[in-house]
Structure 1
């Protein structure tokens, strides 16, 4: 365990619509341009470039005749639709790794029964205790991320996580009388809350070494990987 202070996978832009051509005109004078839609809004949650307005044609794309004033404008808009290489930000990379390691951690637990989940093998801890202390750190760090999202310091005055072992013991003890099933449900719930809080922090706060990056990494991607490896090694020695 380390001090806790410290996209999903990036998608490329939609394929370019290349080679738009004038269709056969019903009238001899002009090919009618298609209606255009400016995309914004909810698409931001689906695509990392959604904050950039782009044009999309409704139905067949009818270019204006070259002699018309509108032709240059429409043709100039076409590069906006061209595919770009998306530079993955530190935030996107970290949240993607967190999602991947979360899945890998669940895979490390797959097939363990309740007796195996409560067997003591990591010092005084079982797999259940490992999961419980991760839940505790999630809950403890959500408010810290919310403060960072508001531009505040992550910790209120007087709060310290210097004694990590004491916090770990506290989190495990709080779940001592909780069933294995409920601890696992709590893990999924607190992971989701933690990741939602992380996503709300501005991307510029996620440079490696900065507080937001350390809080998220050490309580998700790094933390999940650390304990998943321990569990896999333990299972290998027990052949389970």
Structure 2
């Protein structure tokens, strides 16, 4: 009997964690009025901006994972390592600020689906050592942490605003 593939074993758990975190995020932003979704409260960001930020990063992670599955160097489109995360975040927010909420949510769903497919596609294509904790492929696969990084501030804001 062949040894189990550690990537194949880890992928379902990662996807499940990602799905659970996304459900928590959706619950946190559910039923907010259009005005509240546009209200700036997280520094210069609104809920709309936070969702745009998550969409752009997850879509970028999916792109990077797709490249890794083909044996290419991972990269996130429009991410400039010299500019860093802040520059990419500003671009993501600005690029999506004009989108209607429903369209932004459709982009977020599509990014999640693309990302999930990219994570699943790593099975059998990526050596186990490249999927260990802390390695690039594992970090790009795990979006639960990024979603949860934003959930608590949203819930705190909602409590403070009594909404």
| TM-score, normalised with respect to structure 1 | 0.58
Aligned residue for 2:111?
Answer: 190
CA contact (8 A) 1:207 1:213 kept: yes
Q: Deviations over 1:104-158 (max 9, x none)?
A: 11111111111111110000000000000111112222221011112222139xx
Cα deviation, residue 89, structure 1: 2.9
Cα deviation, residue 92, structure 1: 2.6
Aligned residue for 2:120?
Answer: 199
- Give the alignment partner of residue 75 of structure 2, picking from 141, 149, 155: 155
Q: Distance in 2 between matches of 1:127 and 1:185?
A: 15
The reply to whether residue 216 of structure 1 matches residue 136 of structure 2 is no
The reply to whether residue 170 of structure 1 matches residue 91 of structure 2 is yes
- Give the alignment partner of residue 95 of structure 1, picking from 5, 9, 15: 15
Aligned residue for 2:154?
Answer: 231
CA contact (8 A) 1:145 1:198 kept: yes
Q: Which has the higher contact order (CA 8 A, sep 6+)?
A: 2
Aligned residue for 1:53?
Answer: none
Q: Deviations over 1:159-201 (max 9, x none)?
A: 6435100000000000111112211121111111111111111
CA contact (8 A) 1:102 1:221 kept: yes
What do you get for the CA RMSD once the two structures are aligned?
A: 2.0
Aligned residue for 2:54?
Answer: 134
Higher gyration radius (CA):
1
Which stretches of structure 1, 4 residues or longer, exceed 6 Å deviation after superposition?
none
Distance 1:161 1:95, change over 3 A: farther
Q: Distance in 2 between matches of 1:160 and 1:178?
A: 24
Q: 1 or 2, which has the higher helix percentage?
A: 2
**Which runs of 5 or more residues in structure 2 are unaligned?**
1-7
